[in-house]
Amino acid sequence: MINKIEHIGIAVKSLKDSNKLFESLFGKSHYKIESVESESVNTSFFKLGESKIELLEATDDDGPIAKFIAKKGEGIHHIAFDVDDIEAEIKRLKNEGFIVLNDKPKKGADNKLVVFLHPKSTNGVLIELCQEIGK
Ligand code: ZN
């Protein structure tokens, strides 16, 4: 089952500059910075009530975030939904005809197992499913 929007991911050129910008916007500081090597990104997270914003900065010019910014510029990169059983959701969504980008969930930022759905199968929106590790 898909429970709720867990976070919205925003691609930025500079995590340092954007942390400042979003700190001004939200009136509060980010609560964590984390690098995810498998995705070639540095991330920072802001928490607003139940919702989170994830800023994503490329660490590699050939990585997914660098490519996204080169093509579309900075902006909303993905929407992440919280799920209870990511393996079951992968199976269910594949059966429904969605294109799942990785067959096995991988370790993402913020203590999560994650999987992405190809935007081609979701009206142009990159969708992340995430399950908290240990939940
Ligand atoms: Zn994310």
Residue 96 Cα to ligand 1 middle (Å): 23
**CA atoms in the 13 A half-sphere facing the CB of 84:** 2
Contact 86, 130 (CB under 8 A): yes
CA of 95 to the centre of ligand 1 (A): 24
In the reported structure, the alpha carbon of residue 121 is separated from the centroid of ligand 1 by a whole-number distance in angstroms of 18
Residue 103 CA to ligand 1 center (angstroms) comes to: 17
Question: pLDDT value at position 102?
Answer: 87
Span from the CA of 56 to the centroid of ligand 1 (angstroms): 8
Q: What are phi and psi of 90, to 5 degrees?
A: -60, -45
- Distance from residue 14's CA to the centre of ligand 1 (Å): 17
- The model carries a pTM of 0.94
Distance CA 76, CA 71 (A): 13
Rounded to the nearest whole angstrom, what is the distance from the C-alpha of residue 80 to the centroid of ligand 1? 6
> Residue 78: pLDDT above 80?
yes
CA of 125 to the centre of ligand 1 (A): 13
Q: pLDDT band for position 87 (50/70/90)? A: very high
CA of 52 to the centre of ligand 1 (A): 10
pLDDT band at 19 (very low <50, low <70, confident <90, very high): very high
**How far away, in angstroms, is 124 Cα from ligand 1 center?**
16
Q: What is the pLDDT of residues 30-73, one digit of tens each?
A: 999 999 988 899 999 999 999 999 999 999 999 999 999 999 99
pLDDT tens track for 95-108 = 999 999 988 999 98
Dist. CA 83–CA 87, nearest whole Å: 10
